[in-house]
Each structure stands twice: as C-alpha cells, then as structure tokens.
Structure 1
Amino acid sequence: MATSSEVSEKGRSATKRFIGGVVEGFYGRPWTMEQRTELFKREQKWGLNTYLYAPKDDYKHRMYWRDLYSSEEAEQLVTLISAAKQHNIDFIYAISPGLDITFSNSKEVAALKRKLDQVREMGCTSFSLLFDDIETDMCPADKQAFSSFAHAQVAVTNEVYQHLGEPETFLFCPTDYCAAFCTPNVSQSSYLHTVGDELLPGIDVLWTGPKVVSHKISVESIEEVSSILKRAPVIWDNIHANDYDPQRIFMGPYKDRPTELIPKLRGVLTNPNCEFYPNFVAIHTLATWCKAPADATPRDVEMGDEEQESCYSPQKALTLALTDWLEEFLSTDQPTACLKKESSDEEPMQTDLGEHSYVPGPGENPLYTAEPLTLDDLKLLCDLFYLPYEHGATAKMMLHELNWLKCHSQAAAIKTEQTSEWCSRAQIFDDMCEAVVRMFNRLSNAPNRSILYDLYNYICDIKSGVTLAQAYVKSLGGFGKASAQLMNADPEPWGFRGGLSGEFQRMLPGHGNRDLFKYSPKTSVYCIRPYCAEDKMDVQRIFVQMQRERQIKGSSTTESPLISDILSTGKVLPSPQCALVLEDDFGVCGYMLALTDAKEAAASIQRDTSDSVFEKFPSLVTGQVLPRVTDPSLAKRMIGQLLSTIRSCGSRGVFCELRHTDRRMLDFFTKSSTFRPLEMGSLPPDVIAMGTTL
C-alpha cells in the first residue's frame, strides 16, 4: 500500500505538464538572442513548451557562475525571458557551479542564491542546478562536512530550491547522469540512491539514458532508474548533439525511443547540434513524438496500414519536418529590395535587372539558372547526415556499393561473367554521386542563406569526399585517371580527411571499430601486439609452413629469393617498432614486418634494383597470416599500423614483393586501395612488386 507522502507526490506529479522542448546545453558558441526568439516561435507552433538555458560557454553560467550579470546582460535576459513567456514557453535558467564550488562554505551558497535571485528578478520562475562533467573528488573542507559527494550536492540543491520558494519547475543534473557513469550499476549506485532518498520530491532529475549519447532508451531502463530516484526523470537527450565531433552533424529523425516512455517520464529536452538552423528536423520530429499516443505501437519504418496512422513513425515524422523545412529554404532571409542606381561614377552592388537585364547573343553561353531545391534533395541531405549510430538509407547503399566495387574491381579489368554486373553497379554508384553533387549545387543557391551558412562546411566536405570516390570508381573501370589525385606522391591537401586528429586516430589500435563492414572472427579472441625476440621461432614456423603449402599446390619445389625472406627467416631484424604479430587462442598465427630502409637488404641477396626505385619506395613490408584466420580486417589493421609508423619515420613510400603462387597475400595487397604494381626491372618472372606512397 502506498504511503500518504507517495500519494501526495503522485498527485503533485499528475498536475505537472509534460516537459517537452530544447536545452541549449552544448559546448561551443552559444546561440544568438535572435535565434533563441525564433526557437520560441517554432516551439509554440509545434506544440513544445520548454527551453532550458544552459550554454556551456556562457562564462556566467559555468566558469564565472558567481559573477552577477551586468546591466546590459540583464537587459538581454529580461528580453529573452519575456519573449519566451509571449510564446508560452517555460524559460528555465540553469547554472553550473560544480567546477569549483565549496559546498560546505556558506558564502559560496550565498553567492549561488544571490545569482539566482538576480535572474528571478528578471522574471524567471523556473531554475536548474547542473553538476555534470565535473571532477568527483571533494576538497578537505567538504570531506569533513559531508559523507559523500552526492550528499554535498543534494544538501546545496535542497537549500537553494527552498530559498527560491520551491518553484514548480526545478531541475537537478547529477554527476552520474547516465547508466554508464554509475558504479557498479544503476540499481547499486550509492550516488543515485542518495539522490533518490535525500533530494526533495519537488525537484526533477535530468538523465541521458544508458550512455551520454544513447543509441536507444528502453522502457525497462527508465523504470529501473525511476525506482532508484523515486521520481520519473527528465531526459536530456544528446541524440542530435554534435559538439563532440566537429566533422559531423545530425539531421535524422527523433527515433529509438518508444512512445510508451511518455507516461513514464517527466519530460524530454533535446540538446541538439551547435548550429542553430540545421536543428529544424531534430526539434520538429521531437514535437511529433511528444504528441504521439503513449499506447501506440512504435514503428521505425513507413506504415501503409491506415489503422496504424496514430503510431509514431520516424520516417513519416521526417517527411513532415522536411516538407516544412523546404519552405524555409525557399524563403529569403534578407531584404530583397533592389538597390537603385545612384548618381555616382561607381556601379552599385545590385541593380534593377528589370530595366537592364542581360540577354546572351547567338552562340554565347546561356545565363546560369539555379535549379530549385526539392524535397528529395533534403531527404538525401538527411540520409548523408543522419544520426550518431547509423547512416541514412542512401548513405548505407553508397557505402555498400563502393565496398562491392572495390572488392570486385578485377571484374572491371578482366572480361568475366561479373563484368556487366560491375559496370551496372558502377553506373548506379555514379548516379548516386551525381545526385549528391546536384543537391550541393541546389543548396548552395537556396535563397535562405542563414541555413546554408550553417550547413556549408558539412555539405562541401561530403561533396568532396563523394566526388573523390566517384573518380576512384571510374579509374577502376578504366574510364579515367582522376583518382591519381589520391595516389600520387604530392596530392592536394583536400585529398585528406581529418588532419592531425585523423593521423593520431589511424596510429592507435582499435581504429575502425565503427566501420560499416565488419568480419566476425572465428576464434574467441584475436590480439595484435608488438613483435619481440621470443616470436622469432613462431615467425619462422609460419613462413616455412606457408612456403610448403605453396610448393604442394605448385609444380615447382624451388622459389626465387625475395628481399623480404631475410626478414621472415630472422637473418635481418625488422626496424624498431616496425613489427607486429597476430595471436589467437592457439598461439601466433600471423605477422607483419618492415624495414624503413631496404637498400642494404636488397644488396645482401644481390638484387639489382635501381636507386630511383628506392628513392620513391625506400621501405619494405612483408607478412603472412595462417589460413585458419578468415578475418581479412586483421591483416588490414596490421598493415595500417605499420604504414603509419613507417610514415612517422620520414619514409616516402613502401613496397612489397610477392610470389605469384602466394595467392592469399597477393589477393590481399591487390585488393588494397593503396598498393599498386611497380616496375622494378630485375624481378624474377614468378615475383611481382607492389608499392604505395606515404
């Protein structure tokens, strides 16, 4: 049987409206006052009711939280709070004192109250205390006063809440604000238990779900945390946040949150992209989700059954949002009045084209006319910039087709049964690339420049990447050499992606764990580790075993010597940090070895190789993987790590020598997107050399 206090709390919760809206809580440049006012208009139009002011880079919100607002700043906030009220939006002012507050110091708590009193005098009636993204160690004074970090936070939060008169809306963001942060888990978290037991019942708690950026939020997970917190949480949803990755933006629909969550939540606030205008889809689809009936069956696919029209469909919500967004794209965001000619010697920036329009003559190029943006263009845009854990349908298809075309590239050069299929799929890929270019051109000429400027860096980047892939596929089919821009020794800087950050990531183990194409290993564990002296016998064993298998399958028992053989047999040691071995449950099952300077090794087997070859490709790499390893990505990862190491040593290029009978390694390097056949002159007839520039 429920206690009287529980019944009272349930009654109070029932009178509160569901919080649905936007939190400006990202790191980076805050939105402008004009953009926030525009947000209030949109929220009111779409049925949302809340705005949480929490920009991390507003100094007086976080870093200098003790400082009062100046008269000019206060005037701006008064205007903003008034604008929110005009549109029936609950303006919640948040403050983040957790970076350096001393919880046990009464003067610190007084400063916090004074700051919030100033905001209350501006007309604000809803508040929030945020303790996210801070260190959890307490100072000595706080350790003497409080038994735990949670007790310190709860004590100050309760005191401030009561000081403000127990406002109807007061939000608390815990330091452990997602399941991933809870030790050891949600149900056993002493921190969350303290919050649930000690935080006053009128204070609501913010929660991001299983992770900081949650892929999915289940009903079961919310029921679990609600039982610990003794209240329904308000979801601070980072599914569209992009402040953690400057190369990504998210314009897919609000999804993977079943509508059965609605009656189990106090509310949902989306913390979207840093860029204001591209958030149209994120906020519009959240509004559609909030209006969906809680007892409807959620669907993530388009529904054709009329009886299910009331269900929330992410794809239908996306189409509704894009239909409205298209109207904004096609409307101008700046005065359209043409400037009149002035009586001066200089031409004005704009003229009245109605009186003096230019008409091209016979044989001259026609005037450029931009095609209007379409709904399909916006759907493609969102597919290319979908959500953190998935690409849109078109983007998935493009990646799948490019991967297939790479893996079957030999069909384009050699007349086989797959040749026609390869050409057909190459044409489909080319058409998809052209659609991206057309979308870019139409977006670039859209009348609303404010939206374009927020999107331009992203669409320019994706257009460049797509056109490079398009050129690469054409070169595979023998229709051009444009992809040489990627392969030559001195490419343009726009041919690279990621800059220094990308270089670091490629050098670290585990790169590619988010790749679209994954190959499941057949054994329980694979380990790639640095080669050590004790591995010499295992490497020799693998080399001899693979040599015997080639001889059994071939007609000859003798093989031409390779420069790399002296590495595999241990006659020459690999260069420092240029050797890796692969282990599975049964032991060492593969290796990759390299020499940063292979000239002396070539001389040791009397290989007559021209100096020009060593100038372009001074380094050598070799490797073998036993047949029981069926996962090709492991060899790819090893070679990728070695190439990064060799490049960091200053080498310009790497080559390898392969026997025609070594089908597995020949197939691996042939399918590599970087290694290409080399003309080395003195090679034995049964040997092929391949190389790549760094």
Structure 2
Amino acid sequence: MSKRAGAKGGVQRRFISGVVEGFYGRPWTMEQRTELFKREQKWGLNTYLYAPKDDYKHRMYWRDLYSAEEAEQLIALISAAKTHDVEFVYAISPGLDITFSNPREVAALKRKLDQVKEFGCRSFSLLFDDIETEMCAADKQAFSSFAHAQVSITNEVYQHLGEPHTFLFCPTDYCAAFCTPTVSQSSYLHTVGDKLLPGIDILWTGPKVVSHKISVESIEEVSSVLKRPPVIWDNIHANDYDPQRLFLGPYKDRPTDLIPKLRGVLTNPNCEFYPNFVAIHTLSTWCKAFVDGAQRDVEMTGDEDQDPYYSPQKALTLALTDWLQEFLSTDQPGGKPLKRSALKQGRKRKDPSDEEPMHTDMAEGSYVPGPGENPLYTAEPLTLDDLKLLSELFYLPYEHGPTARAMLQEVDWLKKHSCDVSAETDKRAEWCSRAQHFDDMCEAVVQMFNRLSNAPNRSILYDLYNYICDIKSGVGLARAYVKTLGGRGRPSAQLMNDDPEPWGFRGGLSGEFQRMLPCHGNRDLFRHPPMTAVYCIRPYCPEDKTEVQRISREMQRGEANVPLVMQPPLLGDVLSGGDIPPSPQCALVLEDEMGMCGYALALTDVKPAAAKIQRGVNDPVFKDYPSLLTLQVLPRVTDPSPAKRMIGHLLSSIKSSGSGGVLCEVRHSDRRSLNFYTKLGSFKPVKMDDLPQDVIVMGTNL
C-alpha cells in the first residue's frame, strides 16, 4: 500500500483502509472481530474503527468505565488486532448529552479514553454524528457555535492523549447533503477546517449519508474547506436502515483517482458479519488497484468500466470465488469438510453422475433406503454461479444486479403484453418464450436457495437465511402470477385474495405509513413514473355529481373531434351522468390540490344501465360479467397509482357483493383509458353483440 497525505511528526503516514463497525444494531462478537482482523491482514487492509452504535459504553453511557470483564475482552481484542497488523481505533460518541462547557464532562471523557489507552489502544476517534444540533443554555454562553464547542473539546482530548498518530473526528455535518447552504459555504465546516488541529483527520461519507457516487471534484471541494483530505466513512454496503435489504455487490462508483486525494477509506458494511465478505474483499481490491500512480501487475480493467485500474465485476468475481470456499467448509465442531473433488464441483457443476456425496463417511447404523423407497435427500454443492446470482439479487443500494433487473423487466413486459397471449401466433409465441425465460430464472433462484441451504458452513447461512427466504417467496409469487397471465395455472389465492395471509405481502406499520405519504415508490430502483403530487381518495357523495359530470364531458371532448351528441353512448355514461346512482360502497372520487380530478363508479348489477341506453339486457356477456365499472382521471394526473388504487377498492367491494365479474366500456378514440386497462393486466377484451362501432368492452373475473 502506498503512503499518502504527507508526514506527521516525521513519520510517513500510511493510507487508512479497512472497516468501521459503526452501524445500529447488535454489535459483532469478539470472535467475529478477531476473524475480521485475520481477513484484513490477508487482504492488505490495515484499520478497524470500533464504533458500534448499540454498545452502551460507546454512545449512550459513554461516561461509564468498562468493567473488569469488559476490559479483559477489549484488551484481548486490541492485542488480536496488533497481532494481525491492524490498527485498532477506539471511537466514543458523547454527543447525545454532553455539556461541552462543563469541565467535569471533559474530565469524564478523558478518564474513559485513558482507561482504553491502558488496554493498549493507541488510536482514537471522537464521533459527533446523528445528534441534535441545538446547544444547551450553558454551552450557548460558552461557545459561539456548535462547531466551536466540538472543536474545542476534540482538540483538548487529542492533546491530552499525547496527539496520537491516528485520531479521527466525525463532524455532525458529515456529508454534503447536511451542509447549509453548501459545502463551500458551510460555516460549520469552515470552523472545523480552521480550528481543528492539523493532526486530526476528519470522517466524511460523501455527497449523501449513503452516497451513490463519490467524485474527485466533490472530495477536492470538501478538502479545501477542511484544509486536509478526508477519511471516507463509506455506507455503500450499510443496511441498518432497512431490515429487508442486504448488499452483496462490489465496491464501485468510486474512481481510483480518489485514492491520492484521500487520507483513507473505511467501509461501514451490513449489520450481519458473514455476508460482508464481498464488501470488504472488493474494497481491498480497490485500495490495491492504484499504487503510487501506477497500474498493478494484475489487469483489472474491463470493457464496461471507465477506471483503468479497477473493474467492479472482476473484483466481485475474485471475492465470490474466495467466498465459495468458505461456504463449502464446515464451521461445525467435529464436522467433516468436503472432499477436494466436491470443492471443485462447487466452482463448476458437473454431471450429477460424476459428483461425490457431500458426506464422505457413512456413520454406523445410518439409514439406507431399500428398493422402491424414497432416496435420501442430497443437494448438489453450491457453485460460483449460485453466488453470482445471490449477489445480483442483493446488489447495491442504488442498483440491482443484471439478473434482478432482467427479471423485473420480464415481468413488466409480460404484464404489459398479456393480451398477446390470445393474439395471433407470432405475438403469442414471443410472449410464451419470454414467460418461459422468466420461469427458468425463477427456477435458478429456487435451486440456488436449495444448494445454499445445504452448504456446510451454517454460520454464513444463518446470516443470509431470512433474506434468501424472502426473495424466494417474492420470486414465487411473481412466478405464479406470470403463469396465471399465460393461462397455465389457476389464479393464485395470494395474488387475488383481498384478505391474504401475512406471509403473502410485505409491509407492517412502516409500510402502511409509507403508502399514505407522497412520493412513495418513486425511489424504486426499477423505475415507473414517480408520484409528484399528493392525492386524496374519498367516497363519492351526491354533492359530487356536478363535478363528476364536468370531468366526464371534459374527457369526452378530449378524445376526438366529434361532437358529444354524435359519440356512441357507453354503459358507464349513465353512472357519470347521474342517471343511475352507483351501488353502495362502489363510488370514489380523486382529489388533488386543485380539486376533484377523477372518479371511479360501479354498479353491482349492470342490467339497469344496459336498459337505460337500450342495450340487450339478456346478452350472454352479462352472465360472466354481471357488474359495471367506469373510471376517468384528468390528464394532469400523470401517476397511475391513484387510479389503480381506486380500481382495487371497487373490485374488492364488487366481489364482496357476490359478483363474479366486472366489465367496463371505453371508446376506441380514448387511447389513454385503453392503455391504462391493458397495463393493469387483469382486464381482457370481451366480445359483445350489437356494440356501436367505436366501443370496446373489457372485462375481468373476480
């Protein structure tokens, strides 16, 4: 590793690289941290920052000294780090409740760090992240700003400890998004840069808390304000903010040109210890990719990458190849490792007849099935392809892996073109081919799950299990839905039931709140048109009749250059025109900040509407689709979600009335409505006798 950022006290400073245990949640165990030190040494990383948010004596009870038992553990941990040439940096977070101007508080902080220094620790960090910025009355009298208070106590502690070779400071404004008004104009950062002693390094997460990309220009800007290059605290693999996410993709979107501009990089990865193999391994590859401005002997660039010294995909393959060996070695006491031949099979699956059994010895008295009995369950060994698939399903915060993107694109296409299933041969053949391709991808996920579940190293599996169960369930629901679209299976109860079991949907209270708020869904990685306004859906009341009629006329005028009196009547016109009132609990209106902008009305019995416009009430179609629905939304509503929600509410109400199907009518010139119903996926064209030329009927079974 090259030396960076000049000298301190005549000693050349090495580039800080490694791991910060800085997440919220259960801290890692002492055994896991020792294992981390071994990996860091093996991979060329040199630093570990101890900062688990939920270690009480690190943050909440920072004044309390460690007990004798805790001291013994920390002494052993610091010693283990030293054994593996890893710099152990002890961090403390007093910012929740410290009174900066109280000498007793400063003394308590010094006393706590002196104790850790006695344990053999020589490197320290003061963290003031994720705290309130309002100072107490006493501090307001003593300090001109929050930044001055933090800098004052940090400088004093730094000097008290003898100006350690490594001393890190985390500001409260630790990313560009927190700076007011900008990084270059932030009075807080300017105070830190001007007043903090030059031997103290500053932690920085980049443009955001979880930064998508970190550019050289952004680092040059903050370095100019801080008057020193920052140490990146990188949250690209952190998952403590969402219990359903895990990140197994490579370290990426940080050009290696950053390295000479930085003091160091520390990754704050997933809460689960074992899945961090990829995050830490690829970071080490990135750190080693640019040494003294010269390209390494190992060619890392790829056609897909702009960086001449580092390829995320090649780094990922190297990491997964090494990780596979850990999966295939047992972590159980007295367990038997796989034979070398089985390990080779893990890299590339062979013909099943060539494989050796996973357990090479048969214990005395082991069960052997007889003729005609069920064979013993055995799974093929895990493969590198399985781990690549796993990584692509749980990739990075701003990016799905290629396979995950392909699966989402296939489902989206299959939904949009579901009407092609009953179309002419060529279109049906394409739909069926793509449906089969999606089904094959789903099956690969299932098989990956099976092989992963059978991997000998259970410690890794247990950290992954909730996530792989969840993705298997989600893929299974999508798989069933596509089969239903293609007529290859009965409609899934979990997809069509308005009262599904808890395991059939995701959410909880947090999900309920999010769906009530504006902009929910516009940050999905598989993007649809974002919600840009706040909409209210409420029950229709008689006073809404005039506005509904206005919207209906406005939409009819916009469909074609044909006078309203010359347009063929629709069944739904008797509802929107107020000739027949909608059925109870079957009428909704949509409002935005400008007023009413849409409606959805329904009749559980379509025959009165048919009679009103002189249609044959005995048409056979009415037996399959006995109910009627009509919907219109003004063009200013660009987000389809509110209309879909209204449709969902009405279909549920109609179904509860005992109806088995619903139809709607649209004019051929109303391309917007046709496109909407087609994309819903559940409404199909219906043939009906004696229809006016410009009218199309669509129906869905309940």
TM-score (norm 1): 0.84
Q: Aligned residue for 1:493?
A: 502
Q: Distance in 2 between matches of 1:336 and 1:455?
A: 23
- Change in 2 beyond 3 A, CA 1:73/1:573: same
Rounded to whole Å, the distance in 1 between the matches of 2:380 and 2:648 is 44
The Cα shift of 1:424 comes to 1.2
Instruction: From 658, 665, 669, give the equivalent of 1:659.
Output: 665
- Do the aligned residues in 2 keep the contact of 1:562 with 1:657 (CA within 8 Å)? no
Contact 1:292–1:310 under 8 Å retained in 2: no
Change (3 A) 1:543 1:656: farther
CA contact (8 A) 2:204 2:233 kept: yes
Give 3-state SS (helix, strand or coil) of 1:355's partner. coil
Q: Does 1:513 align with 2:511?
A: no
Write out aligned runs for 1:18-417 (5 A). 18-293=15-290, 295=293, 303=301, 311-336=309-334, 353-417=362-426
Paired with 1:118 and 1:82, the residues of 2 have a C-alpha distance of 15
Residues 87-138 of structure 1: CA deviation (Å, up to 9, x unaligned): 1111111000000000000011111111111111111111000000000000
| Alpha-carbon spacing, 1:638–1:77, altered in 2? closer, same or farther (3 Å) | same
1:637 to 638, 641, 645: 641
- For 2:325 and 2:214, the matched residues in 1 are separated by 32
- Do the aligned residues in 2 keep the contact of 1:592 with 1:623 (CA within 8 Å)? yes
In the alignment, residue 236 of structure 1 is paired with which amino acid?
A: W
Task: Give 1:483 shift.
Answer: 2.8
Calculate percent identity across the aligned residue pairs: 68
Per the TM alignment, residue 575 of structure 1 is displaced from its structure 2 partner at its CA by 8.4
Whole-angstrom distance in 2 between the partners of 1:491 and 1:238: 36
CA contact (8 A) 1:171 1:205 kept: yes
Q: In the alignment, is residue 454 of structure 1 matched against residue 488 of structure 2?
A: no
Distance 1:606 1:625 in 2: 29
The answer (yes or no) to whether the contact 2:63–2:108 under 8 Å persists in 1 is yes
Residues of 2 paired with 1:111 and 1:331: CA distance?
Answer: 47
Question: Shift of the alpha carbon at 1:425?
Answer: 1.1
Note the alpha carbon deviations across 1:261-294, whole angstroms, 9 max, x for none.
1111110000000000000000000001111116
1:12, 1:571 → 2: CA distance?
86
Say if 2:170 and 2:204, in contact at 8 Å, map to a contact too.
yes
Answer whether contact 1:302 1:315 (CA < 8 A) is retained.
no
Q: Report if aligned partners of 1:93, 1:128 keep a CA contact under 8 Å in 2.
A: yes
Q: Is the 8 A contact 2:126 2:169 kept in 1?
A: yes
Q: What CA distance in whole angstroms lies between the structure 2 residues aligned with 1:496 and 1:677? A: 29
From 431, 440, 443, the equivalent of 1:431 is 440
CA deviation string 1:294-326 (max 9, x = no partner): 64699xx98468xx9972111111011001000
3, 13, 27: which is aligned to 1:16?
A: 13
SS of corresponding position for 1:436 = helix
1:688 to 1:491, Cα distance in 2 relative to 1, 3 A? farther
1:373 CA drift (Å): 0.2
Q: 1:526 and 1:89, CA in 2 relative to 1: closer, same or farther beyond 3 A?
A: closer
* Counterpart residue identity of residue 665, structure 2: R
Q: Is the 1:96–1:130 Cα contact (8 Å) retained in structure 2?
A: yes
Q: Does 1:579 align with 2:577?
A: no
Once the two structures are superposed, residues 481-527 of structure 1 have per-residue CA deviations (whole angstroms, 9 ceiling, x without a partner) of 15343112443322212233223222322122123454679xxx964
From 672, 680, 702, the counterpart of 1:672 = 680
**Aligned-partner Cα distance in 2 for 1:212–1:415:** 52
Measured against aligned partners, the alpha-carbon deviations of 1:230-261 in whole angstroms (never above 9, x if no partner) come to: 01100000000000000000000000000011
Structure 2 match to 1:341: none
- Distance, in Å, in 2 between the alignment partners of 1:118 and 1:648 is 65
Question: Which amino acid counterpart does residue 49 of structure 1 have in structure 2?
Answer: N
* Native 8 Å contact 2:282 2:319 kept in 1: yes
Going from structure 1 to structure 2, the CA distance change for 1:138 and 1:237 (only over 3 Å counts) comes to same
Aligned counterpart, 1:418: 427
Matched residues in 1 for 2:144 and 2:653: separation? Answer: 53
CA contact (8 A) 2:301 2:308 kept: no
Q: Is the 8 A contact 2:170 2:203 kept in 1?
A: yes
Matching residue's letter, 2:496: M
SS of equivalent residue, structure 1 residue 417: helix
Match of 2:512 in 1: 503
TM-score, structure 2 as length reference: 0.83
Q: Answer yes or no: is the 8 Å Cα contact 2:400–2:525 preserved in 1.
A: no
Residue 442 of structure 1 corresponds to 451
Question: Structure 1's 674 and 118: CA in aligned 2 closer, same or farther, altered over 3 A?
Answer: farther
Report the AA paired with residue 331 of structure 2: D
State the distance in 1 between where 2:652 and 2:151 align. Answer: 51
Structure 2 CA distance for partners of 1:146 and 1:555, relative to 1, 3 Å: closer
User: How far 1:668 moved relative to its partner?
Assistant: 1.5
561, 564, 572: which one pairs with 1:562? 572
> What 5-or-longer segments of structure 2 have no aligned partner?
337-358
The more displaced of 425-434 and 494-503 is 494-503
**Alpha-carbon distance between aligned partners in 1 of 2:701 and 2:11, rounded to the nearest angstrom:** 67
8 A contact 2:282–2:315 mirrored in 1: yes
Q: Give the Cα separation in 2 of the matches to 1:692 and 1:421.
A: 25
Q: Is the 8 A contact 1:560 1:684 kept in 2?
A: no
C-alpha spacing 1:446/1:547, structure 2 compared with 1 (3 Å): same
Amino acid at match of 1:592: G
Asked if 2 retains the 8 angstrom alpha-carbon contact of 1:564 and 1:620, the reply is no
Give the structure 2 partner of residue 591 of structure 1.
597
Q: CA RMSD of the aligned region, Å?
A: 4.1
Change (3 A) 1:206 1:674: farther
Q: 2:346 aligns to what?
A: none
Aligned partners of 1:577 and 1:645 also within 8 Å:
no
Quick one: structure 1 residues 603 and 421, their matched pair in 2 at CA, closer, same or farther if it must change by over 3 Å? closer
Q: Aligned pair in 2 of structure 1 residues 551, 691: CA closer, same or farther (>3 Å)?
A: farther
Task: State the number of aligned residues.
Answer: 652
Asked whether the equivalents of residues 658 and 665 of structure 1 are also in contact (C-alpha less than 8 Å), the reply is no
| Partner SS state of residue 206, structure 1 | strand
Per the TM alignment, residue 652 of structure 1 is displaced from its structure 2 partner at its CA by: 5.8
1: CA distance between counterparts of 2:433 and 2:213? 38
**For residue 476 of structure 1, what is the aligned residue in structure 2?**
485
2-side partners of 1:477 and 1:599: how far apart?
A: 28
Cα displacement string for residues 176-205 of structure 1 (whole angstroms, at most 9, x for unaligned residues): 000000000000000000000000011000
Could you tell me how far apart the structure 2 residues matched to 1:145 and 1:617 are?
77
